[in-house]
Structure 1
Amino acid sequence: MPDSPLSASPYEVLGVPADADAAQLRLAYRRALRHAHPDTGGDAATFHAVQAAWELVGTPEARAAFDRGVRTTAPSDAPHDPFAPAAPRPRRDSRPLARSYGHPGGFSREQYLALIREWAGRGVTLDDPYDPALVRSAPRDIRHVLADALAEEETARALSTLGIAYTVWHDLATDAGGPGLPPKLDHLVLGPTGLIAIQSEDWGGPVALKRGELVGDALAGERPIRALAGRAKAVTRPAKVKPTALLVVVPDEHAAVPLEVGGTNRGAAVALARRSRLASAIRDGIPGSPQLGGVDSMEVRARLQATVRFA
């Protein structure tokens, strides 16, 4: 099961309350397995999700570990918060990284911490605001903010591998957030393949491109491409430059294909990408997005450096 604040818990996958006894849990597992099996009209993804849920809570030891927020695969069953800020990963090579500015996920994490403490109540001490049990019990809108932070951090890790020819800005301040939307642009990438505005997202469900906009039940009325275009314009207009592409990045399981391209918005190519496809999509160039020569890229970088602000 993916480590996402919006992922269904194993109890939700099996269709039982978290306090179900062992007999109820086993009965629910057998029933869910039978209904999800491809041979009985189910689908492979649901079948595998049921099996993964059972691995997490199917034995007393595994269930106790899951309820405590412990990964049984961690060394010595050490507590592991999948939602806490991750330590820097060791590098496997010495190739130069992309130049990077800003703090990816920082604004969203600050927002999450404020919301979770407000939701817990005045006077309540939260020893660990990223405790998995606490996160799972929070309202969806709070979990979504944390999911955004995690998505932005994962995107930043992928973008850092682009190489020295690319410059990346994270968490750029903008006044074009709109009602209920964060006042920032998640990422802006500049390189020989263009100037690409990126939104990192995890809506907890699949999305797809249709007529230049994202659609999907999990969006709940949002219009992400329109919002992304507004943020990108607000950030790039002071530098008198324009983005060449608008790209939304989602977890792999939430996009049907690795890279989906769907028309243009204000002259910028519109695309949806799986997270694992992000770096290669930018290196290859988003189809329909104009590329920049070396001189043009240096001029755009200088203009942006003089105007960008961070959230």
Structure 2
Amino acid sequence: MPDSPLADSPYEVLGVASDADATELRLAYRRALRVAHPDTGGDPARFHAVQRAWVLVGTPAARAAFDRGNGGGAESTPATWAPAAPRPRRDSRPLARSYGHPGGLSRERYLGLIREWVGRGAPLDDPYDPALVRGAPRDIRHVLADALAEEATARSLSTLGIAYTIWHDLATDAAGHGLPPKLDHLVLGPTGLFAIQSEDWGGPVALKRGELVGEALAGERPIKALAARAKAIGRAAKVKPTALVVVVPDQYAAEPLELGGTYRGATIALVRSSRLASAVREGLPGSAHLGGTEVMEVRSRLQATVRFA
């Protein structure tokens, strides 16, 4: 799995230009390691990031591999953010019923933005080329990061089983604040009706007073936006979500599952990507479960009203 498009490159972690010579690179590594070392009051996470950066570019072979687009070192396969090819299943357990195209709209937006940034008429052989992506403005990389997050969530949710129904990339009439006003995922099952937003801001976030906070958010209010989108869909179908969930890459949430109170009866939660499927399968603490008849009724209403972005 390649790094997020929003992740700092090894050169950025070490604080040098990508064309720094070997001596500059070595001095920068030693300096960064000394500053970040936990024994001298540094940040352990930063210390590990510096060490990993050196693994990726610290030797001529590793650096050459990274610069060619290999994000995992000289011996790993090349990093790519292109859509993954379908993989054959290794078990016969029924999957959750799924509708829509997770990450599809975000990928379309990314392709449009990256082509516009490169320039009209300019050749663009591979819009997912790692060197191209890393050089793009942050807002463009953010769109791609969100597409990858949505696809990862869809893979996780598909394992829930036949008792669950999932809709991806739902269109809503909620205010989009310049972004497509869509809901990434809606999950229905015996443990409730979950409105889920998959996000990757490239930095840590946490819940505070029912809203997400963190430097990487740059003023966004994700829970408020999620609630508005869920309300718009619920109003059309005459149903109410039992949970509002934001799912982020594991490294950006301090806890696997963090609760943030309720909003109009729906439990608010911030969930690590690796914890999402089990959180939905178990149900969130304080969130209402649904009976079999109720699940069927809600599913029928949603199937009759859901539109895809």
Give yes or no for TM over 0.5.
Answer: yes
Residue 237 of structure 1 deviates from its aligned partner by 1.3
Q: Structure 1's 288 and 9: CA in aligned 2 closer, same or farther, altered over 3 A?
A: same
Quote the Cα distance in structure 1 between the aligned partners of 2:254 and 2:103. 25
Letter in 2 for 1:22: A
Secondary structure of the 1:273 match is strand
Amino acid at match of 2:4: S
Contact 1:209 1:262 in 2 (8 A): yes
SS at structure 1 position matched to 2:134: helix
CA deviation profile, 1:196-241 (whole Å, cap 9, x unmatched): 0000000000000011000000000000000000111111211100
Separation of aligned partners in 2, 1:85 and 1:185: 20
Aligned-residue offset at 1:35: 1.2
1:279-290 to 2 correspondences below 5 Å: 279-290=277-288
Are the counterparts in 1 of residues 205 and 216 from structure 2 also a CA contact under 8 Å? yes
Return the match for 1:238 from 220, 236, 239. 236
Partner of 1:273: 271
Stretches (4+) displaced over 6 A: none
- 2:168 is matched with 170
Is 1:136 equivalent to 2:134 in the alignment?
Answer: yes
Identity of aligned residues (%): 80
Aligned to 2:155, the other structure's residue is in SS state: helix
TM-score (norm: length of structure 1): 0.96
Deviation of 1:6 after TM superposition, in Å, equals 0.4
Matches within 5 A, 1:1-311: 3-71=3-71, 80-311=78-309
Q: 2:180 & 2:47 partners in 1: Cα distance?
A: 36
Give the CA deviation at 1:245.
0.4
Aligned counterparts of 1:156 and 1:107: Cα–Cα separation in 2 = 14
2: CA distance, partners of 1:274 / 1:93: 25
Aligned-partner Cα distance in 1 for 2:229–2:101: 17
Q: Tell me: CA distance 1:168–1:72, structure 2 relative to 1, closer, same or farther (3 Å).
A: closer
**What value does the CA root-mean-square deviation take over the aligned residues?**
1.5
| 8 Å CA contact 2:207, 2:260 repeated in 1 | yes
**1:3, 1:82 within 8 Å by CA — same for their partners in 2?**
no
Counterpart Cα distance in 2 of 1:61 and 1:155: 35
How many residue pairs are counted as aligned between the two chains? 309
Q: Tell me, what secondary structure is at the counterpart of 2:258?
A: strand
Distance 1:7 1:73, change over 3 A: closer
Q: Which amino acid aligns with 2:149?
A: A
SS in 1 for 2:13: helix
Q: 2:61, 2:74 within 8 Å by CA — same for their partners in 1?
A: no
Structure 1 gaps, min length 5: none
User: Once the 2 structures are TM-superposed, how far is the Cα of residue 107 of structure 1 from its aligned partner?
Assistant: 0.2
Whether the aligned pair in 1 keeps the contact of 2:33 and 2:51 (CA below 8 Å) is yes
Distance 1:232 1:97, change over 3 A: same
2-structure distance, mates of 1:269, 1:11: 41
Question: Hey, what's the Cα distance between the residues in 2 that align with 1:153 and 1:64?
Answer: 30
In the aligned structure 1, how far is the partner of 2:114 from the partner of 2:263?
36
Kindly indicate whether the alpha-carbon contact (under 8 Å) linking 2:2 and 2:80 is maintained by their aligned counterparts in 1: no
| Residues 1:72 and 1:190: Cα distance change in structure 2 (over 3 Å) | closer
Give the TM-score normalised by structure 2. 0.97
